[in-house]
Amino acid sequence: MFIEKKLQSGMAWINLDADILSQHPGSYTKYNIDEETIEYALDKNERAHMDYNRETGTVVLFSMYSI
């Protein structure tokens, strides 16, 4: 499930489910997220960290949880 919450100054909080990204690999382009960031998000060895991209000014928080 994708959840988008608009923040101040035109920013947004976007919650992307890794299982859905795996099933619909191109869906992240709607949010202008680069492919390298998505590859990190889908890599189980890279989860649970924060990434900052100076070029785009984006902060990505990766977390993993079990239901």
Phi, psi of 6 (to 5 degrees): -70, 135
The pLDDT, as a whole number, for residue 22 is: 72
Tally the domains of the chain: 1
The pLDDT, as a whole number, for residue 64 is: 59
Range of the domain at 39: 2-62
Residue 9 counted as domain residue: yes
Residue 67 counted as domain residue: no
Q: What is the pLDDT of residues 34-67, one digit of tens each?
A: 888 777 777 777 666 777 888 888 887 766 555 5
DSSP 1-67: -EEEEE-GGG-EEEEE-HHHHHHSTTGGGGGT--HHHHHHHH-GGG-SEEEEETTTTEEEEE-----
Residue 25 counted as domain residue: yes
Give the residue, 46 or 1, on which the prediction is more confident. 46
